[in-house]
């Protein structure tokens, strides 16, 4: 009996004509499940709240992963002619088909288009500026000093500031300014580049993932870890303002990355034999 492929609505999908590739539809369920399991283990060393969040994420990811393959696997058809890839011959209509050896250029790896790395750098800088603006606003409104949030950030690396008085944190400190600037800049650029790599693999709503979900996740981890590693510094942080600054970073950086025109990955470049040129060496020859 010939197997049938069904789409996500349960309808029988039309057989491949040689002009499309049938690939599993993109999903973030495995990534969410892995993150949840990781947080479950991390909570054993940090705080019970981390394990609770991890359990919820693992359950949500597992259910989503289950629904991707049952009762019918969700697939996505990719046009191969539009991507410059040679069409695949139609499989013979027989009960048992021996799979041929895959040839070069007949398989795609998703995503096939991603934002350039320059978008991550630009998004990280823009998000870092937005985050700094919220933090400085907190310093002015809560402590009447622009230097308070800067010194507080530097206190994570300077032990003498971790136990400093409020008046000392409100005063200018050259070493703390340099440490805070370098730390904030490096982390902003790193997260911006991570957005370029991760956001294209998530299903739509990139602003929701990058602007809300991701900031809330890493804020929860920092809150749980800092309460154990440095309780004195943890007591000085206003977590409502902290969350607001993280979300401002995520929204701005995610917006920049999502709005940047994508570029094709190397796999979608020139495929040997697709445009009538000489084919590359076979696997046996290599």
The region, left, alpha or beta by phi > 0 then psi within -120 to 50, assigned to residue 34 is: alpha
Is 273 within the bounds of a domain?
A: no
Q: At what angle do helices 117-138 and 147-154 cross, to 10 degrees?
A: 120
Q: Average pLDDT in the 26-51 region?
A: 83
- Beta carbons of 138 and 149 less than 8 angstroms apart: yes
Q: Please check the confidence at residue 43 and state whether its pLDDT lies above 70.
A: yes
> Do 169 and 209 have their domain in common?
yes
Q: What is the pLDDT of residues 197-231, one digit of tens each?
A: 887 777 667 677 777 888 888 888 888 777 776 67
Q: Of the candidates 77, 86, 92, 90, which has an alpha carbon nearest to the alpha carbon of residue 20?
A: 77
Split at pLDDT 50, 70, 90, the class of 17 is: very low
Got the DSSP string for the chain? -----B-TTSPBPPPP-SSEEEEEPP-SHHHHHHHHHHHHHHHTTS-HHHHHHHHHHHHHHHHHHHHHHSSS--EEEEESTTTT-PPPPPPP-SS--PPPPPPTTS---S-SEE--HHHHHHHHHHHHHHHHHHHHHHIIIIIS-SHHHHHHHHTTT-HHHHT--HHHHTS--HHHHHHHHHHHHHHHHHHHHHHHHHGGGS-S-HHHIIIIIHHHHHHHHHHHHHHHH-HHHHHH--HHHHHHHHHHHHHHHHHHHHHSPPEE-GGGSPPTTTTSS-----TTT-
C-alpha 87/C-alpha 74 separation (Å) is 22
Is 23 within the bounds of a domain?
A: yes
Is 270 within the bounds of a domain?
A: no
- Name the domain boundary from 38, 73, 88: 88
> Do 130 and 23 have their domain in common?
no
Q: Is 222 exposed, middle or buried (0-12, 13-18, 19+ CB in 10 A)?
A: middle
C-alpha 213/C-alpha 123 separation (Å) is 17
The region, left, alpha or beta by phi > 0 then psi within -120 to 50, assigned to residue 144 is: left
Q: What is the pLDDT of residues 224-234, one digit of tens each?
A: 777 776 676 77
Q: At what angle do helices 48-69 and 29-43 cross, to 10 degrees?
A: 160
Q: Please check the confidence at residue 96 and state whether its pLDDT lies above 60.
A: no
Instruction: Report how many domains make up the chain.
Output: 2
Is 283 within the bounds of a domain?
A: no
> Do 145 and 69 have their domain in common?
no
What is the predicted pLDDT for the residue at 48? 79
- Beta carbons of 32 and 60 less than 8 angstroms apart: yes
What is the predicted pLDDT for the residue at 225? 78
Is 282 within the bounds of a domain?
A: no
Is 269 within the bounds of a domain?
A: no
Q: Give me the phi and psi of 110, to 5 degrees please.
A: -85, 145
Give the global pTM.
Answer: 0.54
**Those residues with Cβ within 8 angstroms of residue 131's Cβ, 6 or more apart along the chain or in another chain:** 184, 188, 245, 246, 248, 249
Is 50 within the bounds of a domain?
A: yes
Least confident of 62-71, 123-132, 197-206, 240-249: 197-206
Q: Which domain holds residue 65?
A: 1-88
> Do 239 and 165 have their domain in common?
yes
What is the predicted pLDDT for the residue at 125? 92
């Amino acid at each position: 009996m010939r197997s049938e492929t069904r789409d996500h609505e349960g309808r029988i999908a039309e057989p491949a004509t040689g002009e499309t590739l049938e690939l599993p539809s993109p999903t973030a369920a495995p990534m969410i499940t892995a993150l949840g399991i990781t947080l479950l283990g991390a909570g054993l060393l940090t705080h019970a709240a981390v394990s609770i969040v991890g359990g919820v994420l693992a359950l949500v990811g597992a259910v989503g992963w289950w629904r991707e393959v049952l009762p019918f696997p969700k697939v996505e058809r990719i046009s191969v002619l539009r991507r410059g890839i040679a069409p695949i011959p139609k499989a013979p209509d027989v009960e048992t088909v021996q799979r041929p050896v895959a040839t070069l250029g007949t398989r795609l790896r998703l995503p096939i288009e991603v934002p350039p790395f320059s978008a991550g750098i630009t998004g990280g800088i823009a998000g870092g500026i937005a985050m700094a603006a919220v933090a400085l606003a907190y310093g002015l409104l809560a402590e009447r000093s622009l230097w308070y949030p800067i010194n507080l950030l530097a206190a994570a690396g300077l032990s003498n500031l971790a136990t400093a008085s409020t008046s000392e944190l409100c005063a200018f400190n050259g070493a703390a300014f340099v440490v805070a600037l370098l730390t904030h800049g490096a982390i902003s650029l790193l997260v911006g580049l991570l957005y370029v790599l991760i956001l294209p693999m998530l299903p739509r709503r990139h602003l929701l993932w990058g602007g809300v979900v991701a900031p809330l996740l890493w804020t929860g981890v920092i809150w749980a870890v800092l309460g154990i590693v440095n309780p004195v510094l943890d007591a000085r942080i206003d977590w409502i303002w902290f969350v607001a600054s993280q979300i401002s970073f995520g929204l701005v950086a995610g917006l920049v990355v999502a709005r940047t025109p994508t570029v094709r990955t190397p796999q979608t470049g020139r495929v040997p034999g697709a445009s009538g040129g000489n084919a590359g060496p076979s696997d046996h020859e290599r």
